[in-house]
Structure 1
């Protein structure tokens, strides 16, 4: 084999650190973005946040005078306007593969980055400054609530100890998670605790609030509550107790025909008993759970201005960044010291990538609104089929970029809050040769079930036939899949008296 030297030219895509950061920031959610930003602010001294709560504080110099730099208005932090020469030099172009990005104006060390002008959204009025923070009261747990009732009703120390033992065995739903035999077997023999004493302690706990606490199963929990419901007829109460104690599985399956036969009652009596049972809470302890609701903050907001739907970025989730002027000036004075040069370059990259992230989200949201105009006007039933490729071809970006933008990014509309991926869906053929969006079909199924006769609910086959009459070719199993996705129970569980 003979060795030789060859020259060859080729092109390949190199993922630079700046491009890798741009891709990573694009796929982060709003919460993850702010967490990432806090880490970068700690690591990079040349990067600072303009909308920081301490940024508007008055700073004193060494001689006691006020630093005039802290009295700058927020208009100084507006986005620098691009000149015609800069616009020509920074003409946008798309890159191939997953690294589609736009060439934008790079702020210098003396420029700030922001999307808003005028007074800062973080500034407070005089009323807000005078107001004192309100402290949230600690929420009482189920155990503490039961112990408080025990201290008010029970005096004997032995009884209190046994009741507290029962309370410790109650789970978050309010049920006794251990059998009395197991609790009795775990007690020392020297205490000489009888089974009747434990049963008395359990009965005391079951008499506490909330009603139904201390039950060993769902049937006992509902029975305790039914016995304590006020203003219930004797016949109705007895029938409701018989249902929950003996025929609860049949009642859960809504097999009313078999229930009428077993209970030997008519529809009116069974309907009254059903009303009483529905007043009960099968999980009484959940009212004391410490779980808090998670709220989604939208990235973009859609409003109707005149006859057009306008898309705007949510300024509350947009961090305002700039290069620290103190360190930037020190670097200008000491040009020979390049210890902070990498941090300066990283700060500029982050500011540019942040600008590009929100600009890409806004462009994608505008393209979605243009194609789903009927949805914003008429609702989900007017949703049209849409795929990532259509938006990617329109904006000159790659499908992977559109996928990153639409993941965990939310849009606030007059119809509610939706993830951007919600507006993309597969299509179903129609008899006229057109296409219908799967989202629109799910909305129609939900509308049909909402308007059905509860005594004779629509089956999946009947819904498929109704959609077929409207020109939508859809199978029964597809209707069942969409119904389950909407968390709608089957026809047997939707039937009522």
Structure 2
């Protein structure tokens, strides 16, 4: 086979680095975006942000002097406060950057430095005397172990007893239950310690008298029984019945088998109702209140407000980072004294600023399109939600469906009805008798309403709920109702029944 050289012309689609960055920024959540931004700021010295939370704080300089914040929120340095000289070009960063279509102007480093950015406005500087400007010190968190050890120090005097009790405390889980049996704990102890099993039992009995009530239990029945014994003001007959229920018939009680309970206990509805009220005062997880889990909260990307002519959609300025190109480095590049690597970093900074602006503009456009199509939801609630798919928004805005998917993932909207992810407004449809369509979100909202207004003594079954929805013109099967009910974490009819 003879070798030869041939020239061919072909077309292919490639993602430029700028486009790859734009796609990546679009799919990040607010928290991930700020984490990515902090990493980029550490790598690119030509990029800086104006909304640094420490900008309005009093700082201690290297020489020991105190630097107060400038009135406009920026540091009082000659570079930022000195006016431009006559005939000199304005300092970089004084005017907003208006990038081109491709984010690059094709010129040298000097011309590339002519368009750096001040994206966004610097927030109003807070008065140092304001209450909300003072640092708040969080109170120290007390763990379950620390709480129990503190009670042990004032109760147990012997060092040997303290060691044994501390050994049991260390074996408790986050809910306050004893994970290991006393036999297993005793087997782990060295023989030379000469610890008897009865000593561990005595230490556990003393631990179970500590606060919170029910701590040190080895099962749910024992935990509830410990609490019932310590509840004040309970009649003796009712206390005995409640103890008998948690000891022998806790499964029936959890499954609401009231007829079996009344037959086994030989009591009427009133007696069982009083015992049930006693058991419900107990906490099956006594140690959970000492958990150190920090509650996660969501910051909205867009905010929807009611105005006279309809609904107004706006971006949340608190989550929009305010970026600009560093003026000092940009001036060095303009004067031709910068390195070639700095020219590439300047272009990357401009790309990031442009892609950041494009990210929030796209989120705003998608949010406005969603609000336009879900006006009934904002006016009447979830029961008025209409079916909506990604393709409908994509065709309206002239974007790809994958772009809409990235925009609506982990982006949140604050509405008068609460905080919702943008994907919440999209859902499948169910046919109606009139030939129309009903949103699955609206059906879930109706199921919540129906189960919330039902008679506790005669709750609605899935078939009954399906029939009631059918009366409203929504054709839905019983298994579909069961699927939606489970997704809403609503118990089945047998667990919703009350005495």
Alignment of 1:170-189 (within 5 A): 170-189=172-191
CA 217–4 in structure 1, closer or farther in 2 if over 3 Å, else same? same
TM-score by length of 2: 0.89
Partner in structure 1 of residue 15 of structure 2: 15
Partner in structure 2 of residue 30 of structure 1: 30
Correspondent of 1:313 among 305, 310, 315: 315
3-state DSSP of counterpart to 1:304? strand
Partner in structure 2 of residue 120 of structure 1: 123
Q: Number of residues paired by the alignment?
A: 473
Provide, for residues 36-63 of structure 1, a one-character-per-residue CA deviation record: whole Å limited to 9, x for no partner.
Answer: 0011111111111111245567999x9x
The separation in 2 between residues aligned to 1:419 and 1:218, in whole angstroms, is 37
Partner in structure 2 of residue 254 of structure 1: 256
- Are 1:494 and 2:499 an aligned pair? no
Paired residues of 1:110 and 1:325 also in contact (CA < 8 A): no
The separation in 2 between residues aligned to 1:358 and 1:292, in whole angstroms, is 29
Gaps of 5+ in 1: 91-102
CA 110–213 in structure 1, closer or farther in 2 if over 3 Å, else same? same
Correspondent of 1:67 among 70, 77, 80: 77
The separation in 2 between residues aligned to 1:307 and 1:339, in whole angstroms, is 52
Paired residues of 2:431 and 2:474 also in contact (CA < 8 A): yes
3-state DSSP of counterpart to 2:293? coil
- Give the drift of 1:246: 0.5
The separation in 1 between residues aligned to 2:202 and 2:240, in whole angstroms, is 25
Alignment of 1:141-156 (within 5 A): 141-156=143-158
CA 57–224 in structure 1, closer or farther in 2 if over 3 Å, else same? closer
Partner in structure 1 of residue 304 of structure 2: 302
Paired residues of 2:45 and 2:326 also in contact (CA < 8 A): yes
- Give the drift of 1:78: 9.0
CA 222–56 in structure 1, closer or farther in 2 if over 3 Å, else same? closer
Correspondent of 1:202 among 204, 207, 211: 204
The separation in 1 between residues aligned to 2:336 and 2:95, in whole angstroms, is 28
Partner in structure 2 of residue 94 of structure 1: none
Paired residues of 2:30 and 2:301 also in contact (CA < 8 A): yes
- Give the drift of 1:411: 0.3
Moved more, 168-177 or 25-34: 168-177
Correspondent of 1:451 among 453, 456, 459: 453
Alignment of 1:17-416 (within 5 A): 17-55=17-55, 67-71=77-81, 80=96, 109-116=114-121, 120=123, 123-128=125-130, 132-334=134-336, 337-416=339-418
Provide, for residues 243-265 of structure 1, a one-character-per-residue CA deviation record: whole Å limited to 9, x for no partner.
Answer: 00010000000110111111110
The separation in 1 between residues aligned to 2:317 and 2:213, in whole angstroms, is 47
Provide, for residues 53-108 of structure 1, a one-character-per-residue CA deviation record: whole Å limited to 9, x for no partner.
Answer: 45567999x9x9963443499xx9798498xxx9xx96xxxxxxxxxxxx789896
RMSD: 2.8
Gaps of 5+ in 2: 68-74, 84-91, 106-111
TM-score by length of 1: 0.89
3-state DSSP of counterpart to 1:454? coil
The separation in 2 between residues aligned to 1:311 and 1:340, in whole angstroms, is 39
Paired residues of 1:169 and 1:178 also in contact (CA < 8 A): yes
The separation in 1 between residues aligned to 2:116 and 2:345, in whole angstroms, is 16
Paired residues of 1:78 and 1:115 also in contact (CA < 8 A): no
CA 455–77 in structure 1, closer or farther in 2 if over 3 Å, else same? farther
3-state DSSP of counterpart to 2:341? coil
The separation in 2 between residues aligned to 1:115 and 1:77, in whole angstroms, is 12
Provide, for residues 343-395 of structure 1, a one-character-per-residue CA deviation record: whole Å limited to 9, x for no partner.
Answer: 01100100000000000000000000000000000000000000000000000
The separation in 1 between residues aligned to 2:320 and 2:94, in whole angstroms, is 13
Partner in structure 1 of residue 109 of structure 2: none
CA 276–109 in structure 1, closer or farther in 2 if over 3 Å, else same? farther
The separation in 2 between residues aligned to 1:404 and 1:72, in whole angstroms, is 44
Paired residues of 2:224 and 2:282 also in contact (CA < 8 A): yes
- Give the drift of 1:465: 0.6
Paired residues of 1:166 and 1:202 also in contact (CA < 8 A): yes
- Give the drift of 1:22: 0.3
3-state DSSP of counterpart to 1:397? coil
Paired residues of 2:113 and 2:346 also in contact (CA < 8 A): no
- Give the drift of 1:161: 2.0
